[in-house]
């Protein structure tokens, strides 16, 4: 007897989830939605924009059958099971809450809110509606991060004592939402959040306090350079993120007996293999590192399939709303520290 015949919860026995998309951002159209579209459990059924012409063009480009000229129209569609929310940061809480109250499960792009207090409001919404709400940190679904987590938990590098993260790009476009204070732009919200999230993943616990230095753009007011330090109790995260530095990203996890290096930790390409390094430190030039390569995968595809599977078959969700609140508490503390010049409790 086949596995699918034995297991009613195997993927081929599950009904695909019909997804609606809020907005037609460049990121969604070019990065996340093409990956989501590939999943057999993820059926992109509708897309909404405040501009019906833009909605129709975006939907047509991705083969999405229905287009709406307002977000509410999409939420009123009884055939939509789940909503993907990649709207600008300041709209995440409002439209995630409205979608859940309209009877839809919600996968919301990061950061899920602009403060822990706002994120906590979504915990109450999830409790009220019974709908799944999760934050879209797609990296947690990539096999390179899953392997790194297994190595840390198994003691392969000894005790994890330090995670060092760098993430940067250069963007001085005043019209870009990443450079607008009023919509939640800036380096920490946009990319520093990855350093926080993945360090919490590797350490498997919450940090106790945070310290940060912030350099703000004199024209935009956004943080264009943020460096932070998280205290995990005998272990640290140190990170730098910038919206005005050379494009670069790297993660090093240092243990008492070895280290793990992720070469492209966050924007893992969907068209080429990724590799990570396990090094016992026997040479200082890195030649002692052993390379593990992973087949080509699309982390957005893996994310939407896992969320669709959780909707249909149950089970845990990565970056559930409670986990998302934890990330925002850390980000809040980092911003407080930048103002106070002191350590801030989380």
Catalytic residue ranges: 110
Going by their DSSP bridges, the two strands 82-85 and 274-279 should be labelled as: unpaired
Three-state DSSP class for residue 199: helix
The token pair at 118 is 């706002």
Chain length of the chain: 346
The token pair at 144 is 């390179």
Q: Give the HSE-up count for residue 169: Cα atoms under 13 Å, Cβ half-sphere.
A: 13
Which distant-in-sequence residues (6+ apart) come within 8 Å of 329 by Cβ? 116, 346
Three-state DSSP class for residue 336: helix
Tell me how crowded residue 342 is: count the other CB atoms within 10 A of its CB. Answer: 9
* Residue found by looking up tokens 């945070």 in the block: 210
Gap between the Cα atoms of 71 and 77, Å rounded: 10
Three-state DSSP class for residue 345: strand
């Amino acid at each position: 007897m086949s596995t699918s015949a034995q297991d009613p919860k195997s993927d081929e026995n599950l009904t695909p989830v019909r997804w609606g998309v809020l907005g037609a951002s460049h990121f969604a159209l070019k990065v996340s939605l093409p990956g989501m579209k590939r999943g057999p459990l993820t059926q992109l059924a509708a897309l909404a924009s405040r501009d019906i012409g833009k909605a129709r063009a975006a939907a047509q480009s991705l083969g999405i059958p229905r287009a709406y000229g307002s977000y509410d129209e999409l939420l009123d569609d009884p055939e939509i099971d789940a909503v993907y929310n990649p709207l600008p940061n300041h709209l995440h809480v409002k439209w995630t809450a409205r979608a859940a109250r309209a009877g839809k499960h919600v996968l919301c792009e990061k950061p899920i809110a602009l403060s822990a207090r706002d994120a906590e409001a979504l915990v109450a919404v999830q409790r009220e509606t019974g709908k799944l709400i999760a934050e879209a940190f797609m990296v947690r679904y990539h096999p390179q991060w899953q392997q790194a987590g297994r190595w840390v938990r198994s003691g392969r590098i000894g005790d994890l004592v330090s995670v060092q993260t760098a993430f940067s790009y250069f963007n001085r476009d005043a019209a870009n939402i990443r450079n607008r204070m009023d919509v939640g732009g800036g380096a920490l919200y946009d990319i520093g959040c990855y350093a926080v999230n993945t360090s919490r993943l590797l350490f498997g616990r919450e940090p106790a306090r945070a310290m940060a230095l912030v350099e703000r753009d004199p024209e935009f007011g956004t943080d264009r350079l943020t460096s932070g330090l998280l205290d995990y109790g005998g272990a640290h995260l140190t990170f730098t993120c910038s919206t005005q530095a050379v494009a670069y990203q790297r993660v090093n996890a240092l243990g008492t007996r070895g280290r793990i290096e992720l070469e492209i930790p966050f924007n893992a390409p969907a068209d080429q293999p990724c590799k990570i390094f396990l090094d016992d430190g026997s040479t200082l030039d890195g030649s002692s590192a052993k390379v593990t390569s992973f087949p080509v995968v699309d982390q957005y595809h893996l994310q939407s399939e896992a969320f669709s599977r959780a909707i249909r078959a149950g089970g845990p969700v990565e970056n559930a709303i409670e986990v998302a609140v934890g990330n925002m508490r850390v980000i809040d503390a980092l911003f407080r520290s930048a103002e106070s010049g002191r350590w801030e409790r989380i």
